[in-house]
Amino acid sequence: MPSVCKALGLSADVGRRILAAEQNLFAWSEFYASCGLKVLPRRRGGKHPGVEWKPYQERFPTDDERREWFADPSVTGICAVLDGTGYVVLELDAYSPARLPDAVTLLARAGVTIPHACPRVRSGSGRSEQYWFRAERRPVTRRYIAAVVHPDGAAKLGGAQLDILGAGIIVLPPTRHQATGEPYRWWPPFLSRDRVPELP
Protein backbone atom coordinates (compact mmCIF):
# COMPACT_ATOMS: atom_id res chain seq x y z
CA MET A 1 0.00 0.00 0.00
CA PRO A 2 2.76 2.62 0.73
CA SER A 3 4.18 2.29 -2.80
CA VAL A 4 0.70 2.58 -4.32
CA CYS A 5 -0.02 5.67 -2.24
CA LYS A 6 3.27 7.25 -3.32
CA ALA A 7 2.53 6.54 -6.99
CA LEU A 8 -0.91 8.14 -6.66
CA GLY A 9 0.35 11.08 -4.61
CA LEU A 10 -1.68 10.08 -1.56
CA SER A 11 -0.85 10.52 2.10
CA ALA A 12 -0.23 7.50 4.32
CA ASP A 13 -3.41 8.38 6.24
CA VAL A 14 -5.54 8.17 3.10
CA GLY A 15 -3.83 4.89 2.23
CA ARG A 16 -4.71 3.44 5.62
CA ARG A 17 -8.33 4.51 5.17
CA ILE A 18 -8.51 2.83 1.76
CA LEU A 19 -6.96 -0.35 3.16
CA ALA A 20 -9.38 -0.32 6.11
CA ALA A 21 -12.29 0.18 3.73
CA GLU A 22 -11.44 -3.12 2.08
CA GLN A 23 -12.01 -5.04 5.31
CA ASN A 24 -15.75 -4.73 5.98
CA LEU A 25 -18.93 -2.99 4.90
CA PHE A 26 -19.02 -0.63 7.86
CA ALA A 27 -15.54 0.58 6.93
CA TRP A 28 -16.77 1.12 3.37
CA SER A 29 -19.73 3.07 4.74
CA GLU A 30 -17.37 5.26 6.80
CA PHE A 31 -15.27 6.01 3.74
CA TYR A 32 -18.26 6.79 1.51
CA ALA A 33 -19.87 8.97 4.20
CA SER A 34 -16.64 10.96 4.49
CA CYS A 35 -16.95 11.64 0.75
CA GLY A 36 -20.46 13.06 1.15
CA LEU A 37 -22.56 10.04 0.18
CA LYS A 38 -25.81 8.98 1.86
CA VAL A 39 -24.93 5.36 2.56
CA LEU A 40 -27.58 2.69 3.14
CA PRO A 41 -27.43 -1.10 3.70
CA ARG A 42 -28.43 -3.73 1.16
CA ARG A 43 -29.63 -7.07 2.50
CA ARG A 44 -28.98 -10.56 1.20
CA GLY A 45 -31.17 -11.46 -1.76
CA GLY A 46 -32.60 -7.97 -2.13
CA LYS A 47 -32.30 -5.54 -5.02
CA HIS A 48 -33.29 -2.54 -2.93
CA PRO A 49 -32.00 -0.91 0.28
CA GLY A 50 -32.62 -2.81 3.49
CA VAL A 51 -34.28 0.24 5.05
CA GLU A 52 -36.89 2.74 3.88
CA TRP A 53 -34.78 5.06 1.76
CA LYS A 54 -37.04 7.99 0.88
CA PRO A 55 -36.47 9.90 4.15
CA TYR A 56 -32.79 10.05 3.20
CA GLN A 57 -33.61 12.05 0.11
CA GLU A 58 -33.90 14.92 2.59
CA ARG A 59 -31.19 14.07 5.14
CA PHE A 60 -27.99 12.13 5.71
CA PRO A 61 -27.95 8.94 7.81
CA THR A 62 -26.43 9.39 11.26
CA ASP A 63 -23.32 7.53 12.40
CA ASP A 64 -25.46 5.58 14.89
CA GLU A 65 -27.85 4.49 12.14
CA ARG A 66 -24.99 3.23 10.00
CA ARG A 67 -23.40 1.35 12.91
CA GLU A 68 -26.70 -0.39 13.64
CA TRP A 69 -27.35 -1.27 10.00
CA PHE A 70 -23.94 -2.70 9.23
CA ALA A 71 -23.78 -4.71 12.45
CA ASP A 72 -26.68 -6.79 11.09
CA PRO A 73 -25.35 -10.04 9.54
CA SER A 74 -28.15 -10.03 6.96
CA VAL A 75 -26.58 -6.92 5.40
CA THR A 76 -24.36 -8.08 2.56
CA GLY A 77 -24.11 -4.99 0.37
CA ILE A 78 -24.05 -1.24 0.29
CA CYS A 79 -25.84 1.43 -1.73
CA ALA A 80 -26.42 5.17 -1.60
CA VAL A 81 -29.10 7.79 -2.16
CA LEU A 82 -27.84 10.34 -4.69
CA ASP A 83 -30.38 13.08 -3.88
CA GLY A 84 -28.76 16.16 -2.38
CA THR A 85 -25.19 14.84 -2.56
CA GLY A 86 -23.97 16.83 -5.56
CA TYR A 87 -22.95 13.64 -7.37
CA VAL A 88 -24.14 12.63 -10.83
CA VAL A 89 -23.66 9.16 -12.29
CA LEU A 90 -23.64 8.37 -16.00
CA GLU A 91 -24.70 4.73 -16.20
CA LEU A 92 -23.97 2.97 -19.47
CA ASP A 93 -25.79 -0.33 -20.05
CA ALA A 94 -25.19 -2.75 -22.90
CA TYR A 95 -26.83 -6.05 -23.76
CA SER A 96 -23.46 -7.84 -23.53
CA PRO A 97 -20.12 -7.01 -21.86
CA ALA A 98 -18.37 -7.09 -25.24
CA ARG A 99 -20.46 -4.13 -26.43
CA LEU A 100 -19.44 -1.71 -23.66
CA PRO A 101 -16.22 -0.52 -25.39
CA ASP A 102 -18.15 -0.07 -28.64
CA ALA A 103 -20.79 2.01 -26.91
CA VAL A 104 -18.17 4.21 -25.20
CA THR A 105 -16.43 4.73 -28.55
CA LEU A 106 -19.65 5.76 -30.23
CA LEU A 107 -20.43 8.16 -27.39
CA ALA A 108 -17.01 9.74 -27.94
CA ARG A 109 -17.73 10.09 -31.66
CA ALA A 110 -20.92 11.91 -30.72
CA GLY A 111 -18.88 14.32 -28.59
CA VAL A 112 -19.53 12.66 -25.22
CA THR A 113 -16.06 12.01 -23.78
CA ILE A 114 -15.49 10.26 -20.47
CA PRO A 115 -12.33 11.62 -18.76
CA HIS A 116 -9.67 8.94 -18.32
CA ALA A 117 -9.34 9.68 -14.60
CA CYS A 118 -13.10 9.61 -14.00
CA PRO A 119 -13.92 7.13 -11.20
CA ARG A 120 -16.10 4.36 -12.55
CA VAL A 121 -17.82 1.23 -11.33
CA ARG A 122 -18.00 -1.98 -13.35
CA SER A 123 -21.08 -3.90 -12.25
CA GLY A 124 -20.98 -7.50 -11.13
CA SER A 125 -22.90 -8.46 -14.28
CA GLY A 126 -20.14 -7.04 -16.48
CA ARG A 127 -22.78 -5.39 -18.66
CA SER A 128 -22.82 -1.88 -17.21
CA GLU A 129 -20.44 0.83 -16.10
CA GLN A 130 -21.12 3.86 -13.92
CA TYR A 131 -19.09 7.04 -14.44
CA TRP A 132 -19.04 9.39 -11.45
CA PHE A 133 -19.09 13.20 -11.66
CA ARG A 134 -19.84 16.17 -9.45
CA ALA A 135 -22.47 18.75 -10.41
CA GLU A 136 -23.65 22.00 -8.86
CA ARG A 137 -27.31 21.20 -9.42
CA ARG A 138 -29.18 17.93 -9.69
CA PRO A 139 -29.92 17.23 -13.35
CA VAL A 140 -33.20 15.91 -14.62
CA THR A 141 -32.82 12.17 -15.25
CA ARG A 142 -32.80 11.50 -18.99
CA ARG A 143 -32.35 8.37 -21.07
CA TYR A 144 -30.51 8.10 -24.32
CA ILE A 145 -30.19 5.26 -26.82
CA ALA A 146 -26.65 4.90 -28.13
CA ALA A 147 -25.65 3.15 -31.33
CA VAL A 148 -23.70 -0.09 -30.98
CA VAL A 149 -21.21 -1.33 -33.58
CA HIS A 150 -22.00 -4.76 -35.00
CA PRO A 151 -19.29 -7.25 -36.01
CA ASP A 152 -19.73 -6.22 -39.65
CA GLY A 153 -19.04 -2.60 -38.75
CA ALA A 154 -22.63 -1.43 -39.18
CA ALA A 155 -24.32 0.68 -36.51
CA LYS A 156 -27.61 -0.19 -34.89
CA LEU A 157 -29.80 1.74 -32.48
CA GLY A 158 -31.05 0.15 -29.28
CA GLY A 159 -27.97 -1.79 -28.28
CA ALA A 160 -27.02 0.39 -25.34
CA GLN A 161 -28.49 3.12 -23.22
CA LEU A 162 -27.10 5.92 -21.10
CA ASP A 163 -28.87 7.09 -17.95
CA ILE A 164 -27.99 10.35 -16.22
CA LEU A 165 -28.66 9.75 -12.53
CA GLY A 166 -28.74 12.61 -10.04
CA ALA A 167 -31.36 11.12 -7.75
CA GLY A 168 -32.50 7.75 -6.46
CA ILE A 169 -30.51 4.68 -5.43
CA ILE A 170 -27.14 3.51 -6.75
CA VAL A 171 -25.36 0.27 -5.80
CA LEU A 172 -21.78 0.66 -4.55
CA PRO A 173 -18.73 -1.62 -4.37
CA PRO A 174 -17.98 -4.09 -2.88
CA THR A 175 -21.60 -5.31 -3.20
CA ARG A 176 -21.91 -8.56 -5.15
CA HIS A 177 -24.29 -8.88 -8.08
CA GLN A 178 -27.40 -10.85 -7.17
CA ALA A 179 -27.27 -13.14 -10.22
CA THR A 180 -23.55 -13.60 -10.89
CA GLY A 181 -22.11 -13.31 -7.39
CA GLU A 182 -19.37 -11.06 -8.78
CA PRO A 183 -18.53 -7.83 -6.93
CA TYR A 184 -19.02 -4.30 -8.19
CA ARG A 185 -15.54 -2.79 -8.61
CA TRP A 186 -14.06 0.71 -8.83
CA TRP A 187 -11.54 1.56 -11.54
CA PRO A 188 -9.95 4.05 -11.40
CA PRO A 189 -10.56 4.03 -7.64
CA PHE A 190 -12.83 6.51 -5.90
CA LEU A 191 -10.31 8.25 -3.63
CA SER A 192 -11.96 11.46 -2.50
CA ARG A 193 -14.68 13.90 -3.51
CA ASP A 194 -12.25 16.50 -4.85
CA ARG A 195 -10.81 13.97 -7.31
CA VAL A 196 -14.19 13.42 -8.96
CA PRO A 197 -14.42 15.59 -12.11
CA GLU A 198 -17.16 18.09 -12.78
CA LEU A 199 -19.91 16.97 -15.15
CA PRO A 200 -18.98 18.24 -18.65
- DSSP state, residue 198: B
Average pLDDT on 39-63 reads: 91
* Residues sharing a CB contact under 8 Å with residue 110, sequence separation 6 or more, in sequence order: 146
**20 and 47 fall within a common domain:** yes
Alpha-carbon span 167 to 86, nearest angstrom: 10
- DSSP state, residue 118: -
Give alpha helix (H) positions in 22-62.
Answer: 25-34
Q: Tens of pLDDT along 81-124? A: 999 999 988 888 776 777 777 767 766 766 667 888 889 999 98
- Of 83, 79, 84, 168, give the one whose Cα is nearest residue 123: 79
CATH number at residue 70: 3.30.720
Q: Tens of pLDDT along 127-183? A: 888 989 898 654 544 444 444 334 444 444 456 667 778 889 999 999 998 888 899
**179 and 128 fall within a common domain:** yes
Alpha-carbon span 153 to 105, nearest angstrom: 13
Alpha-carbon span 146 to 65, nearest angstrom: 40
Among 78, 113, 141, identify where a domain stops.
Answer: 78
**114 and 154 fall within a common domain:** yes
**182 and 91 fall within a common domain:** yes
Higher pLDDT, 18 or 183: 183
**53 and 142 fall within a common domain:** no
Among 45, 78, 111, identify where a domain stops.
Answer: 78
- State the Cα torsion 106-139-83-189 to the nearest 10°: 30
127 sits in the region (left: phi over 0; alpha: psi -120 to 50; else beta) called alpha
Which of 43-63 are b and which e, b meaning 16 or more Cβ less than 10 Å from the residue's Cβ?
Answer: beeeeebbbebeebeeebbee
| Residue 116, domain member (yes or no) | yes
**111 and 56 fall within a common domain:** no
Longest dimension (CA), the chain: 56
Higher pLDDT, 51 or 23: 51
- Please tell me the predicted confidence (pLDDT) of residue 132: 93
Instruction: Give how many domains the chain has, as a whole number.
Output: 2
**97 and 72 fall within a common domain:** no
| Residue 39, domain member (yes or no) | yes
128-134 and 87-94 as β-strands: parallel, antiparallel, unpaired? antiparallel
Peptide bond connecting 97 to the previous residue in cis, omega within 30 degrees of 0:
no
- Of 35, 107, 115, 121, give the one whose Cα is nearest residue 77: 121
**51 and 17 fall within a common domain:** yes
Neighbouring-strand partners of residue 122: 129, 185
Domain that residue 107 falls in: 87-195
Task: Say if residues 119 and 188 touch (Cβ distance below 8 Å).
Answer: yes
**143 and 46 fall within a common domain:** no
| Residue 200, domain member (yes or no) | no
Among 23, 43, 78, identify where a domain stops.
Answer: 78
